[in-house]
Structures are given as C-alpha cells and as structure tokens.
Structure 1
Amino acid sequence: MRVMNSFFVKSVLGTVSMFFALGLSAASVQDNMSREAIAERIEPIGENYVAGESAAAEESSSGPRSGEQVYNTYCTACHTSGVMGAPKKGNAADWKPRLDQGMETVLKHAMEGFNAMPPMGTCSDCSKEEIQAAIDYMIKGT
C-alpha cells in the first residue's frame, strides 16, 4: 500500500511542480479548457481553394463571363505563345485555316478538344456561350 501511495504522491507532486515551472495555475488550465477556448484553438486557419472554383461561383451568379475574362483565366497560357500549335490571339495566319472550316467546327473543336487542346481548354465550368465569346475575343482583329 505504501508503494502505491508513494507513486500517487510522486505523480501529484510532479504535476504540481510542472504547473509552477510552466507558470500555470489551475485556473489558467481550466480557462483553456472552456468551450470557447477549445473552439478558438481548433478554428480553421484558412480555406481550401481549387483553381477556378471560387471565381466561377462568383461569376456564375453575375451572369456569363466575357470572352476576355475566359481568355485571361483559361486560354492565355497556350494561345498567347502558341504552345503546341495553338493559334495565337489576334494572329490572322494562325486562325485562317481554322476559320476556313467554319465557326461551327472551331467551336466544336474548342468544346470537345482537338489535337493537344483538352475539351473546353482548361475551363471545365464554361458554357458554350462563354467558349464562343473567348474564340470571338481571340480572333478579334484577324
């Protein structure tokens, strides 16, 4: 029995000395255990963001995005420099053979994907009208 009591006393004394060493009191430990304190400690420090997701939700509530918005968000990476043969924005020579096939074909290729271009470029939430607006924006001035 003395061995158990001795162990218990040492444990209690060790815990009490730890409080003093850390400058903690029983009241401060209790304060840190309140529901509000716990909720504050486990509160998220940020939000997850998936590219295009938040912006798409905001934009869809205000109507369709303009061709310029779609181009600047999703198309510019390939259509500014002509990556893997992508027709460059405003370059008549790049667009002529495509436009000669008709706008319906150009739109179909943009929607379904063609050669290295994935379906709808990289805009998985664009409408057909928004893709058309982006094409119109890219061919403007050609």
Structure 2
Amino acid sequence: MTQTRLLSLLAVLALPLAGCGDNKSIDGEMSAQLTQPVAHVELAVAKVAPGSRTGEQIYTSVCASCHGSGVLDAPKTGDNAAWAPRLAMGLDGLVASANAGKGAMPPKGGASDLTDTELVRAVAYLANQSGASFTEPPIEGN
C-alpha cells in the first residue's frame, strides 16, 4: 500500500512536467513583443565641410564641455571677471594661446580638424560670451 501511495504521489508531481518542451503553447509573436528593448537609439554623424562651422557650433561641440562648467580650471563662459585678463591679450593673443594649448587644454581644444579660420571663430564666439566684442570671421559663401 505504501508503494502505491508513493507511485501515485510521483505521478501527481510528474504531471506538470509532461508539457515541458512543448513549444506549441508559446505565442511567438506575443513573446517577441514582450521582449522588445525599452528604448531605441540612433546615432547620426553630421558631416560638415572643413571651414564651414560657425563659432557657436564649434563652441557647443568642443569648448562647452570644459568652459561651460569650469572643469580643469577652464574659465567659465560668461564669467567676465575671469575672462578680463585674457581678453586683454586681444583676439590674436587668445587664438595663439588656443592654438598652442593652455594648461589642461590641448592644442585647438583637442579638435585638431579645425581650420585656422574656424579656430578664430570659436575663440571670438567664446570671448564674446564673456565680455569681448570681437568680429567672428564670416563663412565663405554667406
């Protein structure tokens, strides 16, 4: 009698396992919908012809990461007091400093693809946000 009860118990416990491996009960479409990513990211690289970037575009993509927050002792954009002694160097002096690199800033702020004119545009734009009134070189054709 004990063996019969044991076999009955094993049969009852094994019953749920009888359907294992049966993929017919899985809705493939529902499963695919439920396992979709939460977000989708697309990266697009915008190609800009050399020499055609504005000072603001260069500032936003290159300079703002340090000058926007003042990281690594970079003078913050708009801090006229911090920029006053630098602006006294004039546009040519600031461009020469940016071209060579200053302190933790690498030459051209690390954007080695900048043309000389683009560097002047970027420096003029940044300096003008901090009290200067330099003329940003125009983009040819505009």
TM-score between both structures, scaled by the size of structure 1: 0.55
Equivalence for 1:46: none
Select 2:103's aligned residue among 115, 126, 131: 115
> Residues 73-109 of structure 1: CA distance to partner in whole angstroms, max 9, x if unpaired?
1111100011122121122112111111222111001
Q: Which residue in 2 is equivalent to 1:8?
A: none
CA distance, structure 1, for counterparts of residue 89 and residue 54 of structure 2 = 24
Aligned-residue identity in percent: 40
Q: Could you tell me how far apart the structure 1 residues matched to 2:82 and 2:118 are?
A: 21
Letter in 2 for 1:105: G
Aligned to 2:48: 59
**Whole-Å separation in 1 of the counterparts to 2:68 and 2:124:** 15
Q: How many residues align?
A: 87
For 2:85 and 2:79, locate their aligned partners in 1 and report how far apart those are by CA, in whole Å: 12
Q: RMSD of the TM alignment (CA)?
A: 1.9
Distance 1:131 1:87 in 2: 17
User: Using a 3 Å threshold, how does the CA distance of structure 1 residues 140 and 102 change in structure 2: closer, same or farther?
Assistant: closer
Task: Note the 1:1-142 alignment, pairs <5 A.
Answer: 55=46, 58-60=47-49, 63-141=51-129, 142=131
Where do 4+ consecutive residues of structure 1 move more than 2 Å? none
After the TM superposition, which of the residue ranges 82-91 and 117-126 deviates more from structure 2? 82-91
Contact 1:75–1:122 under 8 Å retained in 2: no
Structure 2 runs not aligned, ≥5 long: 1-42, 132-142
Q: Distance in 2 between matches of 1:64 and 1:89?
A: 23
Unaligned runs of 5+ in 1: 1-48
Partner SS state of residue 65, structure 1: coil
Q: TM-score, with normalisation over the residues of structure 2?
A: 0.55
Q: For 1:105 and 1:139, how far apart are their aligned partners in 2? A: 12
